[in-house]
């Protein structure tokens, strides 16, 4: 029988190792453990549930509340992780191989390289990407219990103010296509980050290419 002496720190410890447990890469590369994100979701949910339970209880009941919160949160988190695993698998079958999918266990991040999305200095989506965006719209309408953040990013070439405007325009262009393809506008939020969030060095061409991107973050609703 589990005792109530389990501390909050013990309940949360399992969440600290999740940073290295994401699935990321081209469409063709699937996760080595198809249930890993379900497990990650359970750990994330358990940690969050423990915190909420402990904070909502009095001093004398925090151990019990943290444990109960961890159990409930773990169950809910496992459900979210399982759903994301299924959605990720469907997206990998439906999208082009140049699209990158990252599954963190509590969200999906679909990364579209701007070099194939847009011509230089343009906010008009290339015709070749329309099919991928249509497939993505269909997917998120099947898995409808989520919201979407469409985030534009640039490299550091040019003025920061121009890059900010360009990232916003490109994020809005992608968001508008998703909405036109049937995703309710209430589920979609577009934003630009300009050159402020690089994922690689801006000192070489390959790094700049990685930084020019649009990310579609799929966030399951609680």
Q: Tell me the per-residue pLDDT of 20-64, one tens digit each, with 9 for 90 and over.
A: 455 555 554 444 455 555 555 555 554 544 455 445 555 556 555
pLDDT score at 49: 46
pLDDT score at 73: 43
Q: How do residues 7-21 score in pLDDT, each as one tens digit? A: 554 544 555 454 445
pLDDT band for position 96 (50/70/90)? confident
The 3-state DSSP class for residue 171 equals helix
Distance in angstroms (rounded) separating the CA atoms of residues 44 and 131:
34
pLDDT score at 97: 79
pLDDT score at 191: 98
Measured in whole angstroms, the distance separating CA 98 from the mean position of its chain's CA atoms is 17
Distance in angstroms (rounded) separating the CA atoms of residues 184 and 120:
29
Q: In 10 A of CB 23, how many CB atoms?
A: 23
β-pairing verdict for 188-192 and 146-153: parallel
Q: Which residue has the higher pLDDT, 220 or 7?
A: 220
- Which of 6-20, 68-82, 168-182 is least confident? 6-20
Radius of gyration of the chain measured on its C-alpha atoms: 20
Q: pTM of the predicted model, to two decimals?
A: 0.69
pLDDT score at 69: 47
Whether the Cβ atoms of residue 81 and residue 105 lie closer than 8 Å to each other: yes
Measured in whole angstroms, the distance separating CA 109 from the mean position of its chain's CA atoms is 3
Q: How do residues 157-174 score in pLDDT, each as one tens digit? A: 999 999 999 999 999 999
pLDDT band for position 178 (50/70/90)? very high
């Amino acid at each position: 029988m589990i005792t109530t002496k389990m501390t909050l720190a013990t309940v949360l410890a399992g969440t600290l190792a999740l940073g290295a447990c994401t699935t990321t890469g081209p469409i063709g590369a699937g996760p080595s453990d198809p249930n890993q994100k379900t497990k990650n979701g359970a750990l994330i949910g358990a940690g969050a549930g423990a915190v909420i339970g402990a904070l909502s209880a009095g001093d004398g009941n925090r151990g019990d509340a943290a444990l109960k919160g961890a159990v409930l949160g773990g169950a809910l988190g496992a459900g979210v992780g399982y759903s994301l695993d299924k959605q990720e698998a469907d997206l990998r079958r439906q999208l082009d191989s140049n699209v990158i999918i990252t599954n963190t266990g509590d969200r999906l991040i679909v990364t579209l390289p701007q070099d194939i999305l847009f011509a230089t200095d343009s906010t008009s989506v290339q015709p070749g990407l329309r099919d991928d965006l249509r497939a993505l719209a269909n997917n998120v309408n099947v898995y409808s219990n989520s919201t979407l953040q469409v985030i534009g990013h640039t490299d550091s070439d040019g003025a920061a103010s121009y890059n900010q405007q360009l990232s916003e325009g490109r994020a809005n262009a992608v968001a508008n296509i998703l909405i036109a393809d049937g995703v309710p506008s209430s589920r979609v939020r577009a934003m630009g980050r300009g050159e402020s969030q690089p994922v690689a060095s801006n000192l070489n061409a390959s790094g700049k290419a990685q930084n020019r991107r649009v990310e579609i973050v799929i966030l399951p609703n609680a």
